[in-house]
Amino acid sequence: MSNTSSPSSTPAERLISLGRHLPRVTSGSYSYDPVVVWNDTGYVSGQIPKLDGVVAFTGAVWAAADVARGHEAAELCALNALAQIDHAVGLDRVAQLLKLTVYVSSGPEFEDQPAVAEGASRLLRSVLGEAGRHARTAIGVPRLPKNATVEIDLSLALHPSAH
């Protein structure tokens, strides 16, 4: 997935050009906020690959043959994160994605978590353009909430709000 759109296009226009749309935002079941903004920094809580309230990708990534499925799961996590940002502050307020952490449910012999994480990284860069450049950590874990294949969280710098 490459960012071939005009640098002056908006994140919404880039989504359309990619043939993507933001999933419906759902609220969590526990005592946390999906997005917290402090000054001009935003923190997005962990996002799993949910579509219409259902976890679309479950189970661990065990081998190289599973990387494509993990990549798709990471993309869906990134779309959910973008939807949460859009709902909380608007995608146009994103000045710079700062840090992306990708947790990959993986078997003990699997060691290519960065290949799975690329799904989220490429989608975020494609939608946010240069503001989507980021630092990243990809971590293998034995199990994730709801048996999700991938979970991501991220932090971002925001343009000052106009109040």
Using alpha carbons only, what angle is made at residue 29 by residues 24 and 32, rounded to the nearest 5 degrees? 95
For the CA atoms of 60, 149, 101, 50, the dihedral, rounded to the nearest 10 degrees, stands at -170
The yes-or-no verdict on residue 7 having pLDDT over 80 is no
The predicted-structure confidence for 74-133, as pLDDT tens digits, reads as follows 999 999 999 999 999 999 999 999 999 999 999 999 999 999 999 999 999 999 999 999
The yes-or-no verdict on residue 5 having pLDDT over 70 is no
Kindly report the backbone phi and psi dihedral angles of residue 151, in degrees, each rounded to the nearest multiple of 5, phi listed first. Answer: -140, 140
Q: pTM value? A: 0.93
The predicted-structure confidence for 21-78, as pLDDT tens digits, reads as follows 999 997 777 889 999 999 999 999 999 999 998 999 999 999 999 999 999 999 999 9
Domains recognised in the chain with CATH numbers: 34-158 (3.30.1330.40)
What does the DSSP 8-state code read for residue 15? Answer: H
What is the predicted pLDDT for the residue at 161?
82
